[in-house]
């Protein structure tokens, strides 16, 4: 067999995801895995039963390309109830094989060669590679410490006639911060009278604490008309392995999204769509999430209050960042590896979320775990 001898990578500087690296290391060393963001507790028994019901009822073939009618209608009703905004289930809502597929498809649909995309760092690691593989150029804006805020005047200075897209993420992974109403107003102002598309990653929309409110981009009319909103049922229903997400967008943007979506995945899991539609009929199936995860955040912080790790404020998501500068002067990558191998607890270092590998001596820990898991993890951290 003859192989091409001079293959040129489209992503020459892209390495394995830090999530895969740390989860593999955790498995190899039997460490408590607080690295990759997934729960270790059971999902809803009712949801499992509904999936089983629809499988037995024969809903096992292709769903329509945009998703089942029932789920798209249920999402439309939910968004109206949550935000007072109406998205047409036929022309403005699409079901996806998880949020990462939704993000990649949205970027592919709009970013062309030499288009510029603005991304905020530390940034979820799926954004920049998707831009680059589609020929775009990434412009990074570092969020300001200590609270990971955005300097919108700096963003405005980076915008050019080649700026095609701005990607935002709220609640924010990996930092746990939120984009507030004033941030959205500033974003609305600087993108006014432009053709810039906003891609808003809102997968942790229901994981917001301390009485704060999720400021979805769809709440702001001038932003909504240029925005694609990405959501995740994997996060909402503790079922990350099901890879079930969705996109909201005005019809003109959704038409372009669907042109790419049909060739990336076409349709996604039919019985799971039907089951999720059932659970969305009653908002108690997700309304308790802020209190549920705030209790876990507070429980974890209480357990480690006497440790030498300093918590970074967490307003949302199920990730708690900890400053370890009083513990070690090692790089975050080295310290995370040593914690996993020597102390049997895995976390995620933040430097891989920066283009220049900025190291602020901060690790991210997932607290979407059983209480006994958090107790075991805290005992380790308090001894370090």
Residue with tokens 């408590």: 32
CA angle in degrees (0–180, nearest 5) for 137-94-141: 25
Is the preceding omega at residue 146 within 30 degrees of 0, hence cis?
yes
Question: 211-226, pLDDT tens digit by residue?
Answer: 999 999 999 999 999 9
Q: What is the pTM of this model?
A: 0.96
Please report, for the chain, the start and end positions of each structural domain, with discontinuous segments joined by +. Answer: 18-43+287-383, 61-285
Do domains 18-43+287-383 and 61-285 share one topology? The answer is no
State the fold for domain 18-43+287-383: 3.90.1150
Residue-level pLDDT at 11: 87
CA distances from 161 to 107, 135, 152, 155, 206 (A): 18, 16, 17, 14, 35
Mark the ranges of the chain whose per-residue pLDDT is less than 70: 1-5
State the fold for domain 61-285: 3.40.640
CA distances from 179 to 24, 95, 217 (A): 32, 25, 10
User: Which parts of the chain fold into alpha helices (H)?
Assistant: 18-28, 45-56, 69-83, 99-110, 127-133, 152-158, 181-191, 221-224, 233-236, 251-264, 270-279, 284-287, 289-303, 332-342, 371-383
Q: Which backbone phi and psi does 66 adopt, to 5 degrees?
A: -75, -10
Q: Which backbone phi and psi does 113 adopt, to 5 degrees?
A: -55, 130
Question: 70-98, pLDDT tens digit by residue?
Answer: 999 999 999 999 999 999 999 999 999 99
Residue-level pLDDT at 4: 63
Tell me which residue of 228, 258, 378 sits closest to 311, measured CA to CA: 378
Residue with tokens 């270790």: 40
Residue-level pLDDT at 3: 56
Residue-level pLDDT at 9: 86
């Amino acid at each position: 067999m003859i192989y091409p001898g001079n293959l040129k990578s489209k992503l020459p500087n892209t390495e394995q995801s830090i999530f895969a690296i740390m989860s593999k290391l955790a498995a190899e060393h039997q460490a408590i895995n607080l690295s990759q963001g997934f729960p270790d507790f059971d999902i809803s028994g009712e949801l499992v039963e509904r999936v089983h019901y629809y499988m037995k009822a024969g809903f096992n073939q292709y769903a329509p390309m945009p998703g089942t009618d029932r789920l798209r209608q249920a999402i439309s009703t939910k968004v109206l109830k949550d935000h007072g905004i109406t998205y047409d289930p036929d022309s403005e809502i699409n079901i996806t094989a998880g949020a990462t597929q939704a993000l990649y498809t949205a970027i592919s649909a709009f970013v062309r060669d030499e288009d510029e995309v603005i991304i905020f760092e530390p940034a979820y690691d799926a954004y920049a590679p998707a831009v680059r593989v589609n020929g775009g150029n990434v412009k990074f804006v570092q969020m300001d410490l200590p609270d990971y805020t955005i300097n919108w005047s700096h963003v405005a200075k980076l915008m050019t006639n080649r700026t095609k897209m701005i990607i935002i993420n709220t609640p924010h992974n990996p930092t746990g911060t939120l984009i507030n109403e004033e941030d959205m107003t500033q974003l609305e102002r600087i993108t006014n009278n432009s053709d810039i598309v906003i891609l808003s990653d809102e997968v942790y929309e229901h994981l917001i604490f301390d009485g704060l409110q999720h400021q979805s981009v769809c709440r702001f009319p001038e932003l909504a008309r240029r925005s694609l909103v990405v959501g995740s049922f994997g996060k909402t229903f503790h079922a990350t392995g099901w890879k079930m997400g969705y996109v909201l967008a005005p019809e003109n943007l959704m038409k372009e999204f669907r042109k790419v979506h049909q060739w990336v995945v076409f349709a996604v899991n039919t019985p799971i769509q039907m089951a999720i539609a059932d659970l969305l009929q009653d908002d108690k199936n997700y309304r308790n999430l802020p209190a549920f995860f705030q209790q876990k955040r507070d429980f974890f912080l209480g357990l480690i209050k006497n440790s030498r790790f300093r918590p970074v404020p967490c307003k949302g998501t199920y990730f708690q960042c900890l400053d370890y500068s009083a513990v070690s002067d090692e790089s975050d990558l080295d310290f995370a590896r040593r914690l996993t191998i020597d102390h049997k607890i895995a976390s995620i270092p933040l430097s891989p979320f920066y283009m220049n590998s900025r190291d602020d001596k901060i690790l991210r820990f997932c607290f979407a775990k059983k209480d006994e898991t958090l107790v075991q993890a805290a005992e380790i951290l308090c001894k370090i």
